[in-house]
Chains A and B, each alone.
Chain A
């Protein structure tokens, strides 16, 4: 049906001349504006004030942002955020692609397997964090036992300043690779058959098929997965807060963890708002970059 038909079928305006669309949409829009729109504006206002919870806000202009630029924990937080983000995203895309292609093969237990794949990201990150706390415990964890079994030394994992970030990346990769895999699987199942048939007739090998046909055709699905994971990874919070709370020292203090600590442990609401807004800007910049990449390559 064309747009003209759709327009003709629109219901009459009500007695007060208001389109029914307004009645249907306004509760949801009002809710979004009240619960996120106003708080967003208030957070901008707070970020321009020195405001210790319980006291009164004092306007300091861009003082909080200047403080941020001089704050070494902010810069290390930014670095931790991006190391975690890049490492985990790369791992999730590579393994997700692999598992997704594995699932695309004709298989007897396909349904069971897909159900299993849902488990890690269907459960709360709090539970995931607790699970890995016991598995990675330096003194009795089963992972250390497995390492020793193959002749490797025991490791501190989450208690080690140098290993904590890679370990968190592995935990998140465990939880979210299946999600990427299922997106990849959806992409694979909607691929056209013709390019493959033509390439096989031309004598292409399986490797060539992957690099020259499958991967290029999967770009939209992979990019969608990358954007969704980017939004979550840059704001990585739950698992870290449950397992290390940003430690040891500040080794796993991401921007989000640092902002939370400033706001809800030190009650520096102004500075915390400035940190949160900076994090939001970071997420938006990355998402916009990936979206424009979509126009170029997909």
Chain B
């Protein structure tokens, strides 16, 4: 091997060593959590930590039999799904208008809410929801979570509508299509991948959002995030079950994130960065 070749081989080995360290730092905590959820109770809290154990589904069995975990999961799906739907209904038409008429202020307006601490809106919502007997209802949770999803849909769809050639929409207008028809039959089908991305992003963000449900949810409407927190808060020391909840809570957004990949970054930057 020439000396240049040896230097290059060393450089590449050094590079891959750095990748390995980065991956290990990211994956080890996640892996440990998932692993712990399959450990028998004694092995979860063993010190020194152990990797030799007989895997068991006992933690999950207990989770599904001692607490209404399925109910919490369904609540999360209803809230995330509902708020995504509301976000799409409000955000897609607005995004088309922003893109087509180049009116930007509504998009900026939607970002103000992104900067405020969630508690600022939650205080008035809480007062109002209590007076209107709306606490512990899906309505309150879906509407408040739509405050998170609507801007994401809006900003994602703006860039997808921007990519639809103006001429295509214009020619359909010349052909006598009303604007509504042009949107429904031309713009939306052409921006369909954007709708999928916006849907997945909204669902992830709404699923992950914690604060609003912490205050507004009740016994029947508690989503998985709040249920998981209550496990920690009640000082339930069954760490195996705790890791089971964490795994079940993290899995859906993780799988969905792999579907949308780089769009997740772009969605979280609200158009500030192109992925």
Which residues on A are within 8 Å of B, measured CB to CB?
1, 6, 9-11, 19-21, 23-25, 27-29, 31-32, 35-36, 38-40, 42-43, 46, 53, 99, 102, 105, 107, 109, 113-127, 129-135, 137, 139-140, 142, 145, 174, 178-179, 182-183, 186-187, 190, 221, 224-225, 227-228, 231, 235, 237-238, 241-242, 245, 256, 259-260, 263-264, 269, 272-273, 276-277, 279-280, 283-284, 287
Interface string of B108-129 (1 = CB under 8 A from A): 0110111111111111111100
Question: What's the minimum C-beta distance from A261 to chain B, rounded to whole angstroms?
Answer: 10
Cβ–Cβ contact B232 & A124, under 8 A:
no
* Additional pairs, 16, CB under 8 Å, beyond known A35-B143, A122-B257, A280-B120: A9-B166, A25-B106, A35-B144, A36-B116, A39-B121, A119-B27, A124-B249, A126-B225, A126-B228, A126-B229, A127-B249, A134-B239, A174-B26, A186-B275, A225-B273, A272-B123
Residue B265 contacts which of A43, A107, A186 (CB distance < 8 angstroms)? A186
Cα A195 to Cα B147 in complex, Å, equals 44
Cβ–Cβ contact B257 & A134, under 8 A:
no
Cβ–Cβ contact A122 & B36, under 8 A:
no
B103 within 8 A of A: yes
Which residues of the partner chain A approach B150 to less than 8 Å between Cβ atoms?
A: 28, 31-32
Residue A131 contacts which of B15, B29, B126 (CB distance < 8 angstroms)? B29
Cα A183 to Cα B272 in complex, Å, equals 10
Cα A42 to Cα B124 in complex, Å, equals 6
B217 within 8 A of A: no
Question: Which of A1, A122, A269 gathers the greatest number of chain B CB atoms within 10 Å?
Answer: A122
Cβ–Cβ contact A133 & B269, under 8 A:
no
- 21 A-B pairs, CB-CB below 8 angstroms? A1-B166, A6-B166, A24-B96, A29-B106, A31-B146, A32-B110, A32-B150, A36-B147, A38-B124, A102-B15, A119-B254, A122-B257, A122-B264, A129-B232, A131-B30, A190-B274, A238-B211, A245-B233, A259-B119, A276-B117, A276-B123
Cα A283 to Cα B94 in complex, Å, equals 27
Residue B115 contacts which of A109, A231, A276, A277 (CB distance < 8 angstroms)? A231
Interface string of B166-185 (1 = CB under 8 A from A): 11001001000011101000
Cα A99 to Cα B25 in complex, Å, equals 12
Question: Which of B91, B94, B215, B242 gathers the greatest number of chain A CB atoms within 10 Å?
Answer: B94
Question: What's the minimum C-beta distance from B97 to chain A, rounded to whole angstroms?
Answer: 4
Question: What's the minimum C-beta distance from A68 to chain B, rounded to whole angstroms?
Answer: 15
Cα A113 to Cα B15 in complex, Å, equals 13
Residue B261 contacts which of A115, A130, A263 (CB distance < 8 angstroms)? A115
Q: A119-B257, A242-B229 are in contact. Are A228 and B272 (CB under 8 A)?
A: yes
Q: Which residue of A lies closest to B257 (CB)?
A: A122
Which residues of the partner chain A approach B154 to less than 8 Å between Cβ atoms?
A: 28
Cβ–Cβ contact A264 & B126, under 8 A:
yes
Cα A9 to Cα B150 in complex, Å, equals 28
Cβ–Cβ contact A25 & B94, under 8 A:
yes
Question: Which of B23, B98, B233, B250 gathers the greatest number of chain A CB atoms within 10 Å?
Answer: B250
Cβ–Cβ contact B178 & A40, under 8 A:
no
Residue A235 contacts which of B44, B117, B214 (CB distance < 8 angstroms)? B117
